[in-house]
Amino acid sequence: MTFRRPDRDPTRPVYVISVAASIVSVHPRTLRIYEEEGLVCPARTPTNIRLYSEQDVRRIMWIRHLTQNLGVNLAGVRILFELEERLGTRILERLYDEGTTAERSEDAPPAKTATAAKV
């Protein structure tokens, strides 16, 4: 039986913007841009300080992966997130799997073909 600590709730907002930015290796301004674009919605304290949860951090990592590795712009990221919500499927996981498979095949040496030209 696994015991889950109540303070490890992935939806609980705990990271201020500077900490969240350092976790995902971006500038805090980048997180503000993601919020302005509607890609992430951090919680706010009564004094209006942004607080990010583990889920927010994971979402930001997905955004970074899509933009940096797959070349998707922020509008495309928003559409992918909306599609995933509407369809209830894991579109992003499939894209990630396709991307890592493609990277592995590029790194591998070319396979020898059995039908080599005979002279």
What are 37's two structure tokens? 């674009």
Q: Which pLDDT score, from 0 to 100, does residue 84 have?
A: 86
Confidence (pTM):
0.71
Return the percentage of the chain with pLDDT > 70, whole number. 75
CATH of 9-94, one of 2.60.120.920, 1.20.1260.10, 1.10.1660.10, 1.25.40.10: 1.10.1660.10
Strands (E), 1-119: 15-16, 43-44, 50-52
Which of the four pLDDT bands, split at 50, 70 and 90, describes residue 85? confident
Q: Which burial class, exposed, middle or buried, applies to 24 when counting CB atoms under 10 A from its CB (0-12, 13-18, 19+)?
A: middle
With beta carbons less than 8 A apart as the criterion, state whether 95 and 81 touch. Answer: no
